[in-house]
Structure 1
Amino acid sequence: MTETRELSASAVRAAHEVRVVVGRLRRRLRESHQAGELTLTQTSLLSRLEREGPRTASELAAAEGIRPQSVATSTGALEERGLVTRRPDPGDGRRQLLTISPSGRELIDSTRAAREEWLAVALQERLTEDERGTVVAAMALLDRVTGR
C-alpha cells in the first residue's frame, strides 16, 4: 500500500515541467537523426543488446514489456539488415542468443554521436556559458532523483 503524501506545489510543478521538457527533448533528438530508418522498437532492442549484451528473444520481450511476436518481427528485420546475429545459447542449445553485430554497434554509435552533436550545437547557440552550467547542475540533480 502506498503512503498518501501532501505534495508541495513546487514539487508538482517541477514534475510537470521535467516531464514536458524531457518529452520534447526526446522527440527533437529522435528527429535530429534517425537510426537508419529503424522503428522505435527496433532501435530500442538494438540499444538494449548494445548495453546489456546477448539476450534471447524472450528476455528481450520481458525487458521491453512487449509481446514475443513483436520481438521476433523486429529482430528478424534487424538480422536481415545485418545489425544483429543469432547463435545457439551455450547453456541451452535449443535457445538462440541475439547479439549486436559490428554494423549494429556502428549504427548505434553514429546515431548517438549525431544526436549529441545536434544537442551541443543547440546548447551553444541558444544558451550562455552560465546557462549551460545551470543545465549541467540540473542534470546532476535529476540524476539524484533517479536514485543513482
Structure 2
Amino acid sequence: MPTPAEPPVEHGETGAWSWHHAGLVVRRLDAAIEFYREALGYRVEFLVRDMDDQFQRTVGVPGVVCDLAQLVAPFTATRLELLEVRGVPAGTPPHLPVHVGVGHGAYQVRDLDAAVARLFACGGAPIGEIVEFSEGRAVYCWTPSGTVVELEEAWI
C-alpha cells in the first residue's frame, strides 16, 4: 500500500487507488470465520459485533444488525469481509446486501464526495447514505449491472 511519501496513483472516474476488501453476507459469522481460518489459513484482523445504526444507514434497511469480521489471506494480504445480518424485514428485496450470498467490492478513494458524484455520472446509484466510521467515511452503491460497490474515503 502506498505511504504518505509515495502518493497513490488514482484510477477510473472515481479516483480509486486501492482495492480494500471483498465482502460477503454469510449465514453464521463464527462458522464462516472458522472455515476460512481452517481451510484457507485466513486470520481475523478486525471484528465487531452488533453494528446497528451505521450498518442500517449504509445498506438503507432500518432494523438490521450485523456482526462483521475482516479476515486477511496469508498468501496475498487480501481482505475478506464477512457479515452476518440479523433482523432483515420480510419482503426486503433479495438483491440488497443484507441477504446470505450477496457480496460487494470495496475501493479506497481520496475524496468520497467527488468519487460518489463521478460514480453516479457513470450510472451508479446510492443504496444507503454516506456513513462515518472510525476508519473514515464509506457508502454502498449500485453499479448499472446490479452489483454492489463500496467506496471508502482513504485515511492515509
TM-score, normalised to structure 1's length?
A: 0.24
TM-score, normalised to structure 2's length?
A: 0.23
Q: Which structure exhibits the higher relative contact order, with contacts defined as CA atoms closer than 8 Å and separated by 6 or more residues?
A: 2
